Amino acid sequence: MDFSISKQEEAFRQELRTWLEENLPEGWLQGNRELPEDKADYAVFLRKWQNTLYEGGWGAISWPKEYGGREATLMEEIIFYQEMVRVQAPPLINYIGIHMVGPTLIQSGTDEQKEKFINKIITGEEVWCQGYSEPNAGSDLAAIQTSAEKKGDQWLINGQKVWTSFGHLADKCFLLARTSTHPEKKHRGITAFLLDMNQSGVETKPITQMDGQQEFNEVYLTDAVAYDADIVGELDKGWRVMIALMLHERTGIGAELFTLEKRFDDMVAAIKDYQINGRPVMDDPSVRQKLASFYARFRGSLLNYYRNLTSTLKNGHPGPESSIDKLAVSELTKEMAGFMMSLQGHRGMLWKEDAPIDPVWQDEYLFSFGQTIGGGTSEVQRNTIGERVLGLPKDMGR
């Protein structure tokens, strides 16, 4: 066992840390981390941040050097996320482009596709979204019904996508559509398209979440147009492309985990400061007990992640154990957020500017309900772990 990091890795961390100190948006390090409220300004701000990263050489660190990357090792990628969480850097607007679409095109895109898309991803010029889920295909992704039909040299795409993050800001969409309607198995006959979002056949509609935010979109496709040149991989073999694409996300839920770590520290700090009736809440033995049990679970999740990372480093790709990380982190995040609500007593119902500690805890609580749903529900994660890690029998319909 060896938790130390190499000199090279340490140098990487220092270089990044220094760069961040100099290049984070103004006032950021001092705690002024407001993102623009206006949606257009918000997009401009985040594209600019992506471009700043790119110009500093941090736009897509795991990419090959020829495409502007620095061929970062997996450990360096981990360090990258640790540092981003440490300074609470602005969100990455082009995560999908950088971690999924880019590497996929680099690996198996046509020369034309590489030429056309890759540089604009890393610079932030073109933001990508992901067109996977549909109203009737959530956990059961293979049930998608959005269809692509060839008319002349055009593919006409019709259907509806949902839960598309950044859909309203995106220029391009990595979209799954059905090109063969009666396949033997329903995950066949699906094709992966690189779709232009800026066309009349594409309409996005924001979804208001239970926390009042709008981070996701419905995308309505009405004779949206794509061409043969926009197909990734082979026709009808989009499922395979999607699986390969997921393997490029090699840091798994690292970023969420480091965020959880930070959240836990923030929670402890907030509790240390919090008093009710002049009595420090940290004096309450049941609070200490609960925190201790969260500590064990959060440390356990983090260490699990490192253990899985060790095996990713050995095998070159993540295994189904990543579902263990996802399940642990999402459930724990939700539970911790609920605890922090309870801790604030009746006054914890006060929200926004009236919140007793910091409105972030109320917002986090509401948002946390999405964690165990998005990216595969906890139920789906349990099936994956049961079947692929433990070898239990397959579920109905799978």
396 binds a second copy (CB under 8 A): yes
List the structure tokens of 137: 């295909």
- Residue 150 or 394 having the CB closest to a second copy: 394
**Cα distance between residue 74 and residue 252, in whole Å:** 11
Q: Are 274 and 281 in contact (CB under 8 A)?
A: yes
Catalytic residue among 9, 249, 261, 331: 249
* The only residue of 288, 317, 319, 358 in contact with other proteins, by rule CB under 8 A: 288
Q: Is 249 a catalytic residue?
A: yes
Is the torsion defined by CA of 12, 15, 21, 26 positive or negative? Answer: negative
Which contacts (CB < 8 Å, 24+ apart) does range 366-373 have?
A: 366/209, 366/210, 366/211, 366/212, 367/209, 367/211, 367/213, 367/337, 368/333, 368/334, 368/337, 368/338, 369/210, 369/334, 370/209, 371/329, 371/330, 371/333, 371/334, 372/330, 372/331, 372/334
* The only residue of 19, 297, 320, 360 in contact with other proteins, by rule CB under 8 A: 297
> Which residues in 342-381 contact other proteins (CB under 8 A)?
342, 345-354, 362, 366, 369-370, 372-374, 377-379
Residue 183: DSSP 8-state: -
* The only residue of 194, 267, 291, 357 in contact with other proteins, by rule CB under 8 A: 291
- Residue 123 or 130 having the CB closest to other proteins: 130
CA 50 to chain centre: 16
> Which residues in 273-312 contact a second copy (CB under 8 A)?
285-286, 289
Q: Which amino acid is at 66?
A: E
User: Which does residue 209 touch among a second copy, other proteins, none (CB within 5 to 8 A, set by kind)?
Assistant: other proteins
> Which residues in 27-56 contact a second copy (CB under 8 A)?
none
- Lay out the site mask for other proteins across 223-242 (x = CB under 8 A, - = otherwise): --------------------
Query: Element (H or E) spanning 218, and its range?
Result: strand 216-227
| Burial per residue of 188-226, b for 16 or more beta-carbon CB atoms within 10 angstroms, e otherwise | bbbbbbbbbbeeebbebeeeeeebeeebbbbbbbeebbb
User: Which does residue 220 touch among other proteins, a second copy, none (CB within 5 to 8 A, set by kind)?
Assistant: none
Alpha-carbon distance values, 121 to 5, 91, 351 (Å) = 30, 15, 38
- Residue 67 or 294 having the CB closest to other proteins: 294
Q: What minimum distance in Å lies between the beta carbon of 285 and a second copy?
A: 8
* The only residue of 39, 150, 317, 394 in contact with other proteins, by rule CB under 8 A: 394
Q: What minimum distance in Å lies between the beta carbon of 386 and a second copy?
A: 15
- Residue 40 or 396 having the CB closest to a second copy: 396
> Which residues in 13-42 contact other proteins (CB under 8 A)?
none
- Residue 42 or 274 having the CB closest to other proteins: 274
Q: Are 389 and 323 in contact (CB under 8 A)?
A: yes
* The only residue of 327, 329, 336, 357 in contact with other proteins, by rule CB under 8 A: 327
> Which residues in 168-207 contact other proteins (CB under 8 A)?
207
**270 Cβ contact partners less than 8 Å away, ≥ 6 residues apart:** 340, 357, 358, 361
Q: What minimum distance in Å lies between the beta carbon of 279 and a second copy?
A: 14
162 binds other proteins (CB under 8 A): yes
- Residue 390 or 396 having the CB closest to a second copy: 396
- Residue 296 or 313 having the CB closest to a second copy: 296
Q: Are 91 and 42 in contact (CB under 8 A)?
A: no
List residues binding a second copy (CB under 8 A).
285-286, 289, 396
Q: Which residues are catalytic?
A: 249
